[in-house]
Amino acid sequence: MSHFELPALEFAPDALEPYIDKETMLIHHDKHHQTYVSNLNAALDKHPELEHSSLTDLIMHLEKVPEDIRTAVRNNAGGHYNHSFFWKVLIPGGSQKPTGALAEAIDKQLGGFDKFKEAFTNAATGQFGSGWAWLSVTKLNVLKVTNTPNQDSPLMDGATPLLGLDVWEHAYYLKYQNRRPEYANNFFNVINWDFVSGVYDKTCATKTVL
């Protein structure tokens, strides 16, 4: 029985202009994300025993997913999770930098915000083909900047995503065409650092920051 649904955007489709245009947001959310949700539900309908599994359970424990739907679940549960997360890290008029514990951790572990931004942008532009750039925190509370192919996620390596940028062409091609570096750089104008910092604080609440 299908149980995943497309989450609503928390802002108007044109609210991120000029950095992300209205038409791209509408197609990206209403068409691409909806397809991941529909395909995931169709795969899970074949195995009712997975009806109550959460997205994170499915992604983090793919080895437990029946082999006949494992690839479909990897791609579509990943697509649903990644996009649901992506909408939350976006906000109109986002602040330029994080504050608090996350800012301190970026300074200590990644050499400061400017070096982090450079590393993140390089991860976004250096991902060959479709995929994502990430800032995540490991189980050992270490910040990492990485990229993943397709709809894979840091969750698959036991890390917690804090910030993600979709570098599939559907996320930027209408406005930026082949100019992925410009898209990645402009992303920093619409980041919801309060959300990102909140995820970091919640994840690290019971840990000691390195």
pLDDT digits (tens, 9 = 90+) for 112-146: 999 999 999 999 999 999 999 999 999 999 999 99
CATH class of 22-89: mainly alpha
How big is the chain, counted in residues? Answer: 210
Q: What is the structure's pLDDT at 154? A: 97
pLDDT category of residue 206 using cuts at 50, 70 and 90: low
Q: Which residues pair with 161 in a beta bridge?
A: 136
Q: What is the structure's pLDDT at 205? A: 74
Q: What is the structure's pLDDT at 209? A: 44
pLDDT category of residue 210 using cuts at 50, 70 and 90: very low
pLDDT category of residue 22 using cuts at 50, 70 and 90: very high
pLDDT, tens digit (0-9, with 9 covering 90-100), for 143-184: 999 999 999 999 999 999 999 999 999 999 999 999 999 999
What is the residue extent of each domain of the chain? Answer: 22-89, 100-203
100-203 and 22-89 share a CATH fold: no
Q: Over the chain, what is the mean pLDDT?
A: 95
pLDDT over 90, % of the chain: 92
Q: What's the token pair of residue 169?
A: 């062409």
pLDDT category of residue 192 using cuts at 50, 70 and 90: very high
Q: What is the structure's pLDDT at 95? A: 82
Q: What is the structure's pLDDT at 96? A: 85
pLDDT category of residue 208 using cuts at 50, 70 and 90: very low
Q: What is the DSSP string of 58-117?
A: HHHTGGGS-HHHHHHHHHHHHHHHHHHHHHHHB-TT--SS--HHHHHHHHHHHSSHHHHH
Q: Domain spanning 100-203: which superfamily?
A: Iron/manganese superoxide dismutase, C-terminal domain (3.55.40.20)
Mean pLDDT on 90-105: 93
The one-character DSSP state at 33 is I
Asked if residue 124 lies in contact with residue 167, where contact means CB atoms within 8 angstroms, the answer is yes
